[in-house]
Structure 1
Amino acid sequence: MELRARNRDWLTPWDATNPHPGGGLPSFRQMVRGLNEQARAGAALPFAITERDDDGVTRLAGQLTVSNILWGSAMMATAGYWVDQARAGRGIVPTALAMATDHCFKVLGLHRMEINIRPENAPSLRVAEKLGFRDEGLRVRYLHIDGEWADHRSFAVTADEVPEGLLGRLGR
């Protein structure tokens, strides 16, 4: 909660909001409980992004959630993430997203991973570019973000496009 509070200004332009007048978002505890329920149901995978500092201490650096996991003929999911502003630009998010995507492809057997990014979010657009996610176009008024319906660019990669895995691609 301290990390999120410290990063409020950095994250607010990208954070989901409730489109219903006067509607709020779940508390941190409610969010964790909901993510745990979704994980048990096989619909989401919540991950903490950590980084080891110079003293060897592992600290929370952000969060990545694989959500909207669809089984059956779709075999796909959507990833979303955030990172501490003080740690942005260090390759933490591309590495975390590559690891999560590789897990989804190689362990769960999913076929497709999507990420949806606000067009003005240059750092996240760079993540998609670094990992070679394919730009599939604009989703008009896709998600309610920072108090309004916001356009997003949709990016995807499929398992057959990265047989060596995204972490392997990132390492090259």
Structure 2
Amino acid sequence: MTALAGQPPALDRRRTGVRIRVVRMADADALAALVRENREYLRPWEPERDESYFTLDGQRDNLHDLIEAYAMEEMWPGVILVDGEIAGRITLNNILRGPLQSCFVGYWVARAHAGHGVATEALRQALDAAFGALRLHRVEAFTRVDNHASQRVLLKNGFTAVGTARRHIHLDGRWHDERLFECLAPWDDGVSPNPPA
């Protein structure tokens, strides 16, 4: 069965034991340990971080900011859980209302869980939240052009490549081109501004 354009295809093998939820202040210890443990693994894909980011206090500050932005409905900041343990982060960023009803998604999974379908399932659940409870019409994502693993995660979830933004992001000491992907809500009919009641 072929998915309609812009709609996520059904995943034949959903990764069991994976779920996402909004971040909590109580996540600071686990996140501090996880970002320290995965610092070099994530370095090519993440913005440059101050040393404090990798500390417990740094994670507390980060979580405080994320929770505040969530309260203002500017983002949906989540953690990825595997069998109840934090294994990464997923965030619906820059939520725009009005005529756009869109956001950007960003995610990372710890090295120990990479390549096992965790990111794919977490993104599927984030899309459920975006198109369901948040009632968004569009989710976009950028990946470095050489980040083929992340692009596979997006494609498995029904994203379509739109184009390439030249020298779009400064990571790992230089500017990189990024590919832009988009996914439209399953309820999109090209006319309705909101999902059916």
Residue 40 (structure 1) shift? 0.7
Aligned to 2:168: 142
Q: Give the counterpart letter for 1:46 in structure 2.
A: P
Give yes or no for contact 1:45–1:66 (8 Å, CA) kept in 2: yes
Higher relative contact order at CA 8 Å, sep ≥6: structure 1 or structure 2? 2
Aligned to 1:92: 118
Q: Give the counterpart letter for 1:4 in structure 2.
A: V
SS at match of 1:47: strand
Q: Give the counterpart letter for 2:177 in structure 1.
A: D
Residue 141 (structure 1) shift? 1.8
Deviations 1:92-132 (A, max 9, x none): 11111111111111111100001110111121011012112
Aligned to 1:102: 128
Alignment of structure 1 residues 4-83 onto 2, 5 Å? 4-17=35-48, 27-52=58-83, 58-83=84-109
Unaligned runs of 5+ in 2: 1-31, 190-197
Aligned to 2:18: none
| Whole-Å separation in 2 of the counterparts to 1:142 and 1:159 | 26
| Whole-Å separation in 1 of the counterparts to 2:42 and 2:136 | 29
Worse-matched range after superposition: 92-101 or 153-162: 153-162
Q: Give the counterpart letter for 2:121 in structure 1.
A: T
| Whole-Å separation in 2 of the counterparts to 1:17 and 1:60 | 22
Q: CA RMSD in A?
A: 2.0
Q: Give the counterpart letter for 1:99 in structure 2.
A: Q
Q: Which runs of 4+ in 1 moved over 4 A?
A: 23-26
Give yes or no for contact 1:51–1:60 (8 Å, CA) kept in 2: yes
Aligned to 1:115: 141
Give yes or no for contact 2:131–2:186 (8 Å, CA) kept in 1: no
Worse-matched range after superposition: 138-147 or 124-133: 138-147
Give yes or no for contact 1:135–1:153 (8 Å, CA) kept in 2: yes
SS at match of 1:14: coil
Deviations 1:130-156 (A, max 9, x none): 112000110112222223322110101
Give yes or no for contact 1:17–1:24 (8 Å, CA) kept in 2: no
Q: Give the counterpart letter for 2:107 in structure 1.
A: Y
* Structure number with higher helix proportion: 1
Unaligned runs of 5+ in 1: 53-57, 164-172
| Whole-Å separation in 1 of the counterparts to 2:188 and 2:43 | 33
Q: Give the counterpart letter for 2:75 in structure 1.
A: A
